[in-house]
Amino acid sequence: MNGFDVCKKLKLLPGFKDTPVILLTVKTEISDIVKGFQIGVVDYVTKPFNPIELMARVGTQLELKSSRDLLRQMALTDGLTKLYNHGYIHERLAQEISRSRREKQPVSVIMFDLDHFKNINDTYGHKIGDEILVMIASLIKELLRKEDVAGRYGGEEFLIILPNTDGQGAVIVANKIKTKIQNHTFPQKGLSVTISGGVCSFEGEDANNLIMKADQLLYQAKEKGRNRIEADC
C-alpha cells in the first residue's frame, strides 16, 4: 500500500476523517502533488528532508487543526450552557429520524423548560439566571448516555434526543431529570427550581412536527400545574 492508498483509507474512517495528513515522499512530479491534495493531503514534504522543517510543518498543522476544531465546536454549541445549539439540535434530530426509519429503531425526544424562570431572573438577577442554566445543563449531562443529544432550544427551554429509546424509556429519563433538578441544592438561599416537560416518540413525522408535538405536551404540563412530565405514550 502506498501513501495515497493509506490516506484514502484513513479518510474513510470516522475517527480519522478530519485528521491532517502530511505526505512524506520521493515523488516530486506536479501530478503526484496535485493527486495528494485531491485525496486530502494537507502538506507535502519530499525526501531527502530536514527533520526540523518536518516537525515545524507538523506543528503548524496541529495548530490549524485545533483552531478548526474550536470554530466547529463554537458553531454547534450554545455559548452559555455548552450544550448543542438550536440549529444543530434540529439538524441532528432530522438525522436521527432518518436513521430510525432506516434501521427500524425508536427515537424519542424530551422538551422541557424551567418553571417561573422570569421570577427567578427578577428576584436574583440575570447573572444568577445564567448560572442556573449552566448548572441545569450540567445536571442533564450527568443523566444521559454517550449517544444521547442535549441542546438548549432557546431561552430556558431544552431539547433532548434519545436514540434507540421508546416512549416509556424516555418518560423514565425525563422524570429522572425532573427529580434531579427539583432535589438539587442551589447556592442561592431559598432558591428551588422545577421543570415542566413533554415526551414523545417518532411515529413517522418529520423533525419539525415531532418537536411541535413535544412542545404541545410541554404546554399541557404547564396547564396542569407545572413540575410534571406529560407524554403521549
Q: Where are the domains of the chain?
A: 3-75, 86-231
Q: Model confidence over 119-147: pLDDT tens digits? A: 999 999 999 999 999 999 999 999 999 99
Burial category of 104 from C-beta neighbours within 10 Å (exposed 0-12, middle 13-18, buried 19 and up):
exposed
Q: Is 63 a known active-site residue?
A: no
The pLDDT tens digits of the residues spanning 60-78 come to: 999 999 988 888 878 899 9
Cell of 140: 442533564
- Contact at 8 Å (CB) between 107 and 148? no
Q: Give one word for 226, left, alpha or beta, with left for phi > 0 and alpha for psi -120 to 50.
A: left
Residue type, 146: K
Q: Name the CATH superfamily for 3-75.
A: Response regulator (3.40.50.2300)
Confidence of residue 26 (pLDDT cuts 50, 70, 90): confident
Report d(CA 136, CA 130) in Å as an integer.
Answer: 10
How many CA atoms are closer than 13 Å to the CA of 158, on its beta-carbon side?
A: 29
Residue 16 pLDDT grade (very low, low, confident, very high; cuts 50, 70, 90): confident
User: What average pLDDT does this structure show over 84-100?
Assistant: 95
CA distance 167 to 131: 31
Helices marked H in 77-166 — which ranges?
Answer: 86-103, 117-124, 126-143
Q: Report pLDDT digits (tens) over 196-211.
A: 999 999 999 999 999 9
189 grid coordinates: 438561599
CA angle (187 as vertex; 182, 188 as ends), nearest 5: 90
Rounded CA separation 172/3 (Å) = 51
* pLDDT mean over 41-47: 90
Q: Which of 29, 96, 147, 156 is catalytic?
A: 156
Amino acid sitting at position 92: R
pLDDT grade, residue 170 (50/70/90)? very high
The yes/no answer on whether domain 86-231 falls in CATH 3.30.70.270 is yes
Q: How high is the pLDDT of residue 139? A: 97
Residue 139 corresponds to which cell in the numbers above?
A: 445536571
